[in-house]
A and B are shown apart, each in its own frame.
Chain A
Amino acid sequence: MRNIGIIFKKQIKDTFKNKTVLIQFVMFPAMTLIMEHCINIPDMPEFFFTKLFAIMYMGMAPLTSVASIIAEEKEKNTLRVLMMANVKPWEYLMGVGLYVWTLCMAGAGVMATGIPAENTPFFLTVMAAGFAVSIVMGACIGIFSANQMVATSLFMPVMLVLSFTPLLALFNDKIEKVAGIFYTQQLRLLLNQMSFDGIKTETVLVVVVNAALAIGLFFAAFRKKGLE
């Protein structure tokens, strides 16, 4: 547990010096606040930008940051130093995962300032679930990548699919049907309802299957590559 805290602290320190990672955590919450306050189109659904950017945030930030962090540590050979200092792989992954999840939740908290207070717990629960699945997916990519370049080429298509299909689904029925298999689309539908009462079995099932697939892939990648 101590080592998880140490990794968490290290990442926090590093974040303030790593603008490329920092911007991923800040960009969507900042854009949400700006757009919600500045743009007002007649007949636009309520909290349109909050819901839209929330899904993009969920599909992008945790996935790319976790994959980049792990890949960078592998590339620079600092991960090996940690492993030789008797930091267990699971401690390292938990530390990084918790750090990304915490920062993303802080960002989601900022986004939630625009919605009514009674909807905040629901919004944050949905975001928390989405971030968790994306973090596991990012960890799969990070484990599988030998360096940052490989990680970028792997997470780019995954990130685009996860974060943009829910957006494209707004304009195209066929894409909407396909997008339904992704947790990001299902969570977008949930955010549209903004209520625990409206949760459908199908939604839960898709999210659970996505999460199970991500976890399965994670263990397969870890077994094959480890953290070396």
Chain B
Amino acid sequence: MIRAKRICKSFGTKEVLSGIDMDIGDGKIFGLLGPSGAGKTTLIKIITGQLACDKGEIAVFGKDVAELTGADKKQIGIMMDDHGVYERLSCSDNLKIFADIYSVPHSRISEALAQVGLTGSAKKPAMKLSKGMRARLRLARVLMISPKILFLDEPTSGLDPMTMKYIHKLIIEHKNKGCTIFLTTHNMEEATALCDEVALLNEGKIVERGAPDQICRRYNHQKKINLHLTTGEDVELAHESASAREIEKLMELGKIETIHSSEPTLETVFIELTGRRFETDEEARYA
């Protein structure tokens, strides 16, 4: 569905993307993970034809991105972090504009608003919506057109956990309908929960890729089991048969309060690979 080969992009002397390769299959959720400034948004802009790359080839729907027709583009939904809504217009009027542009029947407007839980705010001007509701309106705008490919740039950035869960549910629903989703995020839990495949992007290079659980298993060097005992003591055991007997003994004595294996998270893998941690846009701004 989306194929990129050796994508390079520089702004002045700064190389933002350096030899990016990717191949995203139909109906998959692909997550591009990286800290702020890693080049995630630039890559989306290149793939969606908003920005030209310096080197490399990109194919979407099997066609060079520059050769996409108007009809092809209408099958692509893009929700960027900074995309605005028409503040003075109501939610339904906001969607009506795009329903007309994409030739979507107006009946889809109320369906899309219901999908994102904004039915009660259909007549409310967008300026009166909270940040979370506004994000849901932006999502409704792209979901309404039932795209074949959906680009979501930090879709849950700065949102409350409830809205975040709601948006995750919608993303999975669309994946189940066969939509290919390209997602950028710096939220590891989000990536682990949603993505079939992730790529870790750092300073314009993909440093690791694969299914989230595969990546985590690949970097599970420590292989430890951590126990927290009822006495308040923390015990670390090696991941081997000898430890099983010790755990069994502690269990029989009812001394174990919690027990965890020590697989790394995507964040710890990223730290191991790059020596830096993911930071949110807000953190980067105030750093």
Contact = CB atoms under 8 A, between A and B. Distances in A.
Interface in B39-65: 48, 50
Interface in B69-104: 70, 73-74, 78, 80, 82-89, 93, 97-98, 100-102
A6 B82 CA distance: 23
Interface residues of B, number: 23
Give chain B's interface secondary structure class.
Answer: loop
Interface in B131-172: 141
B85 A14 contact: no
A225 interface: no
A80 B83 contact: yes
Given A3-B101, A6-B101, A84 B50 contact: yes
A182 B86 CA distance: 36
Interface string A16-29: 01100000000000
B37 interface: no
Interface string B13-54: 000000000000000000000000000000000001010000
B210 interface: no
Contacts of A3: 101
Contacts of A17: 88-89, 125
A102 interface: no
B146 to A, nearest CB: 14
A2 B93 CA distance: 17
Contacts of A177: none
Contacts of B50: 80, 84
A75 to B, nearest CB: 8
B70 A6 contact: no
B48 A84 contact: yes
Interface in A1-54: 2-3, 6, 9-10, 13-14, 17-18
A10 B96 CA distance: 9
Nearest to B97: A10
Nearest to B87: A76
Contacts of A117: none
Contact of B84 (A13, A14, A76): A76
Contact of A6 (B48, B74, B97, B125): B97
Nearest to A76: B84
A86 interface: yes
B88 A78 contact: no
Contact of A81 (B70, B83, B88, B89): B83
Interface of A: 2-3, 6, 9-10, 13-14, 17-18, 76-78, 80-82, 84-87
22 contacts: A2-B100, A3-B101, A6-B97, A9-B97, A10-B86, A13-B89, A13-B93, A14-B86, A17-B89, A76-B84, A76-B85, A77-B84, A78-B83, A80-B80, A84-B48, A84-B50, A84-B78, A85-B73, A85-B74, A85-B101, A86-B73, A86-B101
Nearest 7 CB-CB pairings of A with B: A76-B84, A17-B88, A77-B84, A78-B84, A86-B73, A6-B100, A86-B70
